[in-house]
Amino acid sequence: MKKIVVIGNGMVGYKFCEKLRAAEGNEIFDVTVFGEEPWPAYDRVHLSSYFSGANADTLMMAPRSWYHEHDIDLRTNELIIKIDRIGKTVHSHTGNSIAYDFLILATGSGAFVPTISGVDKKGVFVYRTLEDLDAIIAYGQKVKSAAVMGGGLLGLEAAKAVYDMGLKTHVVEFAPRLMPRQLDENAAALLKSKIEDLGIGVHLSKNTREISGNGKLTGLEFADGTKLDVEMLVISAGIKPRDELARDCQLETNVRGGIVINEFMQTTDPSIYAIGEAAAYKELVYGLVAPGYEMATQVVNQLVGKEVKPFMGFDMSTKLKLIGVEVGSFGDPFGDIEPCKSIVFEDKVKGLYKRINISKDGKKLLGGILIGDTSAYNMLLQMVQNHMPLPPEPEDLILGSRGGKEPSGAGIAALPEGAQICSCENITKSDICKAITEGGIEDISALKSCTKAGAGCGGCVPMVQDLLNHELKNLGKKVKNVICEHFDYTRQELLDIIKIKEIKSYNRLLDEVGHGDGCEKCKPAVASILASTWNELVVKQDTIQDTNDRYLANIQKGGSYSVVPRIPGGEITPDKIIVIGQVAKKYGLYTKITGGQRIDLFGARVDQLPDIWEELIDAGFESGHAYGKSLRTVKSCVGSTWCRFGVQDAVSYAIRVEERYRGLRSPHKLKGAVSGCTRECAEAQSKDFGIIATEKGWNLYVCGNGGSKPQHAQLLINDIDSETCIKYIDRFLMFYIKTAEPLNRTATWLNKLEGGLDYLRDVVVNDCLGIGEELEREMDFMVDTYACEWKEVVNNPVLRAKFKHFVNTEENDPAMAFQPLRGQKIPVEWHGQ
């Protein structure tokens, strides 16, 4: 058994372990991994999500149990302090020593901290680890302003995190423009303008001379004599390779940092490899995860005897979203590697900048820059990497071809089989196509799981989806995400058809744009769309299949139904409580207070429902819509009315919000909450929309989810007034209703939404699609036309007559039976349970 020791348990160290254990012949290796942090490897690429709901567990590359299951000895919180190359052993700070046959240095990098006077003051942080982030969050709660030193990729990521904390944010950059390694002057100027529009200060050409303050940071002093008053500083000005262990054991290191490696990732000691940000190949340190993954793969190939592909450098193209702005830089962005001609398109009104660099002979694409719209990035990058021919009119690549056709020679079909689709995992077009054609894969989730494509940064997912659709079409399979076989349309398309044609019944829709008789999938889905569009009662639709909607109540075990009156914000008068008690006693109903601050009444027969609701409605209650794909509750704490910690009146606002959106039909159920302070007693961050009071107003969170697959809601915007909050919820809910697939909760919808939270914020807050007022008008229509469904049934003899067990008799269901429990009744257990 040969012993492998891995020093460093970051993303690249983990990827080495994953690749090794997946390789044939790996069983001959005993593997020990040392990590100085307390957690297993976590995703540093998405660190900023830590500020909007993610935690250490959600960022983990794999749980601790994964290492045990794969016979890997993971030692966290243990720092290697010495490498003995002669004895082939490593020594940790705890006094442990372990021998190795092969040593993998995946020590990564640390934050580069400039030598500035005052850098050790309280309030100065780096942006690198989870512990750094915890410290930033804790200190950020005590201050109102912060500066980020660094206007590159890392700096702008840190600035987004600080901005999401609700602090007045400044970016300080030494260079005369933002992202100087990726963007030209015009692109950087546009990015600066878009960031400043958010209220973030951008300070360029600033050489920080001193960090002022008496023990605690109070501001920055620049070499040009200017000052910036801030209360916190986050340094994110670059990385410094962790090469100290290599230097101490006399391995060759680069003058500017990094462990020198050859094309096989070997250091000057052939039994020691270096991978990731700790390694320097031809004096260059790669600060992206994809090159590190490729290094890890090739080291594994050498160890298990597979074909090795020498590392000859790596493309540093990148696409990401920085503080809500899409940015892409690919190939040779500045056109300074070889002579070229540039085509530039700029629209300052829409915030777009697109530049492509064409070879002098006009035959190939060399590189380019995209700001504001990176939808063409993946295809343009493929054209550069695979030397694909240019279309007759190269400007079509960034302007869009006239006539709406794809430029000649472009498109997914034109890519060669060896085209690298996923750079993080080095997955080619051929790998993906084989998984589809030979493995029978037909959905994106299975494809990602099988090939790992898109499992890293996620930037390649749109192209992976395009490949999946293309291959399925070639196989003669439909790829359109239609509702069912009776309608060749998506939910979104059906919603548009219903609205444009003013269709108000399922039968007419089926006659005009569908075929067949319909099914249990399309009938309730169409009923929901019709209700979402026209706000007419679902119960009036004869063809509806969903039992809960047909009888406006949830069917329970044993065939009985539950009754759930709405109690907005959880506030209820004593008289109404008495009525509920009287109704429960009269009809012998099991009574329970729910987690959503309502009272459930169980055990009603279907024929009793109208009578029960008549009494409740007379007392001032209305339908709680517990049975529908609609708003259920807006939970609240008592807020400033009673609580000594409350800063806003949570109950009043929760009632206002719940009464506004009551009855709103949607692709899935909706839940909301309003907390009167950041102690969060209403659990707003587990709801589809959650509102948390601050001293300045309200923070709005969206797309949370409890249940079997819980997901934290994410911060959409902070410190807004009550009217603005309502406006943004209007837009958010209507946009969700219009674009989500059937039975997708808001969390699932957001996970599938291209661009994620940043795009959703652009639509809802920044109104990037120009539909904000339309969405508000549509919500106003829903509010103005709302009617309590049960009140309509109670007062309509025709509808009321539908509520009986059998269509041909007034008899009750003889199979329905109950048994006593703690002074109430519950259903008798069914046979076979």
The pLDDT, as a whole number, for residue 546 is 59
Condensed to tens digits (0 to 9), the pLDDT of residues 744-753 reads 899 989 988 8
Smallest Cα–Cα separation from 718: which of 686, 751, 678?
678
The pLDDT, as a whole number, for residue 819 is 87
Condensed to tens digits (0 to 9), the pLDDT of residues 496-507 reads 999 999 998 888
Question: Residue 201's domain spans which residues?
Answer: 124-237
How many other CB atoms are there within 10 angstroms of residue 248's CB atom? 11
Average pLDDT score over the chain: 88
Q: Given the structure tokens 């990176």, which residue do they identify?
A: 374
The pLDDT, as a whole number, for residue 389 is 83
Residue 95 domain flag: yes
**708 Cβ contact partners less than 8 Å away, ≥ 6 residues apart:** none
Which of 304, 329, 346 corresponds to the end of one domain? 304
In a shared domain, residues 572 and 675: yes
Residue 610 domain flag: yes
On whether 249 is known to bind a ligand per the annotation, the reply is no
The pLDDT, as a whole number, for residue 329 is 92
Residue 457 domain flag: no
The pLDDT, as a whole number, for residue 124 is 96
% of the chain exceeding 70 in pLDDT: 95
Smallest Cα–Cα separation from 72: which of 28, 31, 113, 36?
31
**352 Cβ contact partners less than 8 Å away, ≥ 6 residues apart:** 190, 345, 346, 371, 372, 373
In a shared domain, residues 675 and 595: yes
pLDDT band of 833, cuts 50, 70, 90: very low
In a shared domain, residues 218 and 246: no
How many domains does the chain fold into? 4
Q: Poorest-confidence range of 7-16, 259-268, 451-460, 498-507?
A: 451-460
String of b and e for 620-653 (b: at least 16 CB within 10 Å)?
ebbbbbbbbbbbbbbbbbbbbeeeeebbbbbbbb
Q: What Cα–Cα distance (Å) separates residue 733 from each residue in 33, 496, 753, 776?
A: 47, 17, 14, 10
In a shared domain, residues 561 and 701: yes
Q: What is the mean pLDDT of residues 517-539?
A: 82
Condensed to tens digits (0 to 9), the pLDDT of residues 79-132 reads 999 999 999 999 999 999 999 999 999 999 998 999 999 999 999 999 988 999
Phi–psi pair at 237, nearest 5 degrees: -105, 15
Condensed to tens digits (0 to 9), the pLDDT of residues 719-751 reads 999 999 999 999 999 999 999 988 889 998 998
Residue 696 domain flag: yes
pLDDT band of 403, cuts 50, 70, 90: very low
Q: Which residue has the higher pLDDT, 29 or 403?
A: 29
Residue 703 domain flag: yes
Report the alpha-carbon distance of residue 698 to residue 564 in Å, rounded: 29
pLDDT at 668 over 80: yes
Residue 429 domain flag: no
Condensed to tens digits (0 to 9), the pLDDT of residues 535-544 reads 887 777 665 5
The pLDDT, as a whole number, for residue 151 is 92
pLDDT band of 53, cuts 50, 70, 90: low
Report the alpha-carbon distance of residue 107 to residue 279 in Å, rounded: 9
The pLDDT, as a whole number, for residue 542 is 61
Condensed to tens digits (0 to 9), the pLDDT of residues 586-603 reads 999 988 887 788 899 899
pLDDT band of 442, cuts 50, 70, 90: confident
Tokens of 694: 């601050």
In a shared domain, residues 66 and 176: no
Q: pTM, whole model, 2 decimals?
A: 0.56
Residue 25 domain flag: yes
**642 Cβ contact partners less than 8 Å away, ≥ 6 residues apart:** none
pLDDT at 418 over 90: no
% of the chain exceeding 90 in pLDDT: 52
Condensed to tens digits (0 to 9), the pLDDT of residues 308-361 reads 888 888 878 888 877 778 899 999 999 888 889 999 999 887 888 999 999 998
Report the alpha-carbon distance of residue 9 to residue 33 in Å, rounded: 7
The pLDDT, as a whole number, for residue 543 is 56
Smallest Cα–Cα separation from 330: which of 296, 303, 366?
366
How many other CB atoms are there within 10 angstroms of residue 192's CB atom? 21
In a shared domain, residues 623 and 710: yes
In a shared domain, residues 36 and 181: no
On whether 681 is known to bind a ligand per the annotation, the reply is yes
The pLDDT, as a whole number, for residue 569 is 81
In a shared domain, residues 527 and 563: no
Provide the CATH number for the domain around residue 603: 3.30.413.10
In a shared domain, residues 629 and 741: yes
Residue 655 domain flag: yes
pLDDT at 371 over 80: yes
pLDDT band of 478, cuts 50, 70, 90: low
In a shared domain, residues 707 and 765: yes
pLDDT at 525 over 60: yes
Q: What Cα–Cα distance (Å) separates residue 130 from each residue in 231, 287, 727, 751?
A: 21, 18, 35, 23
Which of 189, 208, 237 corresponds to the end of one domain? 237
Report the alpha-carbon distance of residue 224 to residue 441 in Å, rounded: 61
In a shared domain, residues 265 and 212: no
Provide the CATH number for the domain around residue 90: 3.50.50.60
Q: What amino acid is encoded at 201 in this protein?
A: G
In a shared domain, residues 599 and 727: yes
On whether 422 is known to bind a ligand per the annotation, the reply is no
Q: Which residue has the higher pLDDT, 610 or 483?
A: 610
On whether 17 is known to bind a ligand per the annotation, the reply is no
> Residue 66: helix, strand or coil by DSSP?
helix
Which of 220, 237, 254 corresponds to the end of one domain? 237
Strands, sheet with 590-593, edge to edge from the N-terminal-most edge strand: 561-563, 599-604, 590-593
